[in-house]
Amino acid sequence: MDATITLTVNGRRATVTTDPQRPLLDVLREDLQLTGTKYGCGEGRCGACTVLLDGQRRHSCTLPVGQADGKTILTIEGLATDEALHPVQEAFLAEGAFQCGYCTPGMVMTAAALLKEKPDPTEAEIVAWMDGNLCRCGGYPRIVKAVRRAAASAKGAQP
Ligand code: FES
Ligand code: FES
């Protein structure tokens, strides 16, 4: 049976009436037209669908939208401000940390969550944190470099 669910997505309230078991990812992409968040495996194994739910990274492909009712969601579309890209976005551009770009929204959201929790991670911590995000293009060295650059720039230091 459908339910009415209220989400705050990228600072805007959205109300959807839908099956509460539908994946949040489908609601974001199909109902709210926020297609930056990607479908990869659909079973919580690749990280392409990562969003922040009340500030915590979550796989939106396996999260029933009913569990997001009343919560705050940040997707890749909401990461930049009107004035500037997020430091992780800037760093991915500066390091060329993507090829096809399919994994990139999930990578960026995961890295943003890391820097929020741990602003100055070691390389080993970056690798461990990003471990659940897969890149078919094998861009891992540049991705790690980009996360290091973002951490350094947030501190005002050279990467
Ligand atoms: S699509 Fe969600 S983890 Fe792969
Ligand atoms: S850049 Fe292609 S999957 Fe990561």
Which of 59, 78, 97 corresponds to the end of one domain? 78
Pocket test for ligand 1, best of 24, 26, 59 (most atoms within 8 A of CB): 59
Q: Flag whether 133 is in a domain.
A: yes
Give the tens place of pLDDT for each residue, 45-61: 999 999 999 999 999 99
Q: Single out the residue in 78, 96, 122 at which a domain terminates.
A: 78
pTM above the 0.85 mark? yes
CATH classification of the domain holding 119: 1.10.150.120
pLDDT classification of 154: cutoffs 50, 70, 90: confident
Same domain, 93 and 114: yes
pLDDT of residue 138: 95
- Cα 36 to averaged position of ligand 1 atoms, centre (Å): 13
* pLDDT score of 159: 42
Question: In sequence order, which residues have a C-beta less than 8 Å from that of residue 29 and are 6 or more positions away?
Answer: 35, 37, 39
Q: Is the CB of 28 under 6 A from ligand 1?
A: no
What's the mean pLDDT when you consider all of the chain? Answer: 96
| Predicted local confidence at residue 157, as pLDDT | 53
* Ligand 1 lined by 20 (C-beta under 6 Å): no
pLDDT of the residue at 156: 62
Instruction: State the ligand closest to the CA atom of 62.
Output: 1
Instruction: Tell which residue, 45, 21, 49, has the closest CA to residue 34.
Output: 49
The arithmetic mean of pLDDT across residues 13-22, rounded, is: 98
Ligand nearest to the CA of 43: 1
**Whether residue 158 has pLDDT greater than 50:** no
Clarify whether residues 103 and 58 are in a common domain: no
118 lies in which domain range? 87-154
Clarify whether residues 115 and 138 are in a common domain: yes
Number of domains in the chain: 2
Ligand 2 atom index nearest CA of 98? 1
Judge whether 108 lies within some domain.
yes
Q: Please tell me whether residues 33 and 60 are part of one structural domain.
A: yes
156 CA from centroid of ligand 1 (Å): 33
Ligand that lies nearest to the alpha carbon of residue 26, given by its number in the listed order: 1
DSSP of 57-84: EEETTSSBGGGGTT-EEE-GGGTS-SS-
Q: How confident is residue 155, by pLDDT bands cut at 50, 70 and 90?
A: confident
Per the CB < 8 A criterion, the answer to whether 34 and 27 are in contact is no
Q: Among the three residues 35, 53, 78, which one is the final residue of a domain in this structure?
A: 78
Residue 38 forms part of a structural domain: yes
CA 138 to centroid of ligand 2, rounded, Å: 7
Coil, strand, or helix at residue 121?
coil
Instruction: Summarize pLDDT for 96-121 with one digit per residue, the tens.
Output: 999 999 999 999 999 999 999 999 99
% pLDDT > 90, the chain:
96
The pLDDT of 6-30, averaged and rounded, is 98
Residue 159 lies in a domain: no
